[in-house]
Amino acid sequence: MRKFVIMGVQGSGKGTQAKGLCDDLDMEHISVGDIFRWNVQHHTKLGAQVRRLMATGHLVDDDLVEAVVRERLALHDWNYGFVVDGFPRNRRQAEFFLEGYDIDGVIQLDLPEEEVVRRVLARRLCSQCGLDYNLIAHRPKEDDRCDVCGGTLVARDDDNPTALAVRLREYHEKTRPVIDLFRRKEFVAEIDATRPRDEVQAAIRARFGLPPISARPPRK
């Protein structure tokens, strides 16, 4: 069983790289952001609370994030392991996580701030099915229309210059110290996220001794 945490600033490709690992190696991708966005799209009570915070760029309250992660991991549907994406975001959350789970390593995706701004402001989301697009790397066939369901593509509430500036400041203030904590207790692999997607995936696998995509062993 493999257990990883993937970290990095907004737009560094955490979700893309986590999905690549999980789809190929039968792990579960546990994305805090996806859980929150699902609740926002389905107009739940949690979603209303999260939507207000996302619109201003602020991180969701520690207690709420921890409760969501506890509930998700308690499902125990990760027989072959998991990659946690978007958690922990500060020292308190990191300590909670390390107390309960023996992780194999931390994937830290490094991306310069100017590239963060370029990527994040190009992101789009289908308003109907929730599929992610990026106007730089993954454009729809028809402008502003989802290739799958035909829904309208919109920017996420928190993908605007003001909210992004808040997120970047909070990331450097709160999240970077988490990396320092992990460095003392776990293996942290720092990966250059400016490279093409497939090269980043290959670098992650090489650092942790995971099988290349083309050489995946048969599932038993």
Catalytic (active-site) positions? 14, 89, 123, 156, 167
CA atoms within 13 A on the CB side of 72: 21
Largest Cα–Cα distance in the chain?
A: 49
* DSSP letter (8 states) at residue 104: S
Residue keyed to tokens 């003392």: 184
Measuring CA to CA, how many Å separate 97 from each of 37, 46, 79, 89? 22, 22, 18, 11
Q: Which whole-number Å values give the CA distances from 178 to 5, 95, 140, 162, 173, in the listed order? A: 11, 9, 36, 24, 10
Question: Backbone dihedral region of 74: left (phi > 0), alpha (psi from -120 to 50 degrees) or beta?
Answer: alpha
Angle at 111 between CA 70 and CA 191, to 5 degrees: 70
Chain-centroid distance of CA 127 in Å reads: 20
